[in-house]
Amino acid sequence: MLRFLLLVAAFAVTACSPADKPASFRNTDITGVDYGSHFELTDHNGVKRSLADYRGKVVTVFFGYTQCPDVCPTNLSTMASVMQLLGDDAARVQVLFITVDPERDTPELLKQYVPAFDPRFVGLYGTAEQTAAVAREFKVFYRKSGDTSGSNYTVDHSAGTYVFDPAGHLRLYVKHGTAAEDIAADIHQLLTAK
């Protein structure tokens, strides 16, 4: 009986060890949500891309457009800071920028704009229909506003970032304006999880 009690006590201690504690993220944990895992768009070099192409990396996905006056450049600048904070681990992270303005965001424009923040960043585009379908998969809102009769419109859009773990599972939602340090800490945790 004593051996049995010792065995139960040993199991209880191991079951509660820190290695078994669930991850504690600084950003919103949405583990189990199945958004966007099957999208396919074209990158700014003309190559068809899907999430599976980046398996083994943490992937961040942000929807925006190149003529965005504030949110989009702020997000990409923050992600550039995240990459610096991650150091060597940044090689295992892929930042994806999906345009919600395929009418104006040509591959050439995306190729100039997106990698200007970090050469490893990739801009993705599709037809208007493909863009709408991918946005629906991610529950992302966007619409033209202002003078929509010409090409001087703006695009209102959701401003959060989705983060997939190296196995391709959606894990985090990052609100716009989150500090680079908090994003880097969560990405590091995803990269080192067993």
Residue 170 near residue 37, CB atoms below 8 Å = yes
16 annotated to a ligand binding site: no
pLDDT tens profile 97-128: 999 999 999 999 999 999 999 999 999 999 99
Q: How confident is the model at residue 37 (pLDDT cuts 50, 70, 90)?
A: confident
pLDDT tens profile 42-99: 999 999 999 999 999 999 999 999 999 999 999 999 999 999 999 999 999 999 999 9
With a pLDDT cut of 90, the percent of the chain lying above it is 81
Q: How confident is the model at residue 22 (pLDDT cuts 50, 70, 90)?
A: low
Please tell us whether the domain made up of 26-192 is placed in CATH 3.40.30.10.
yes
CA distances from 88 to 13, 24, 74, 93 (A): 35, 23, 23, 10
DSSP state of 21: S
Q: Please say if the pLDDT value at position 4 is more than 70.
A: no
DSSP H or E segment with residue 171:
strand 170-174
pLDDT of residue 167: 95
CB-count exposure of residue 65 (10 Å: 0-12, 13-18, 19+):
buried
Q: Where are the domains of the chain?
A: 26-192
pTM of the model: 0.87
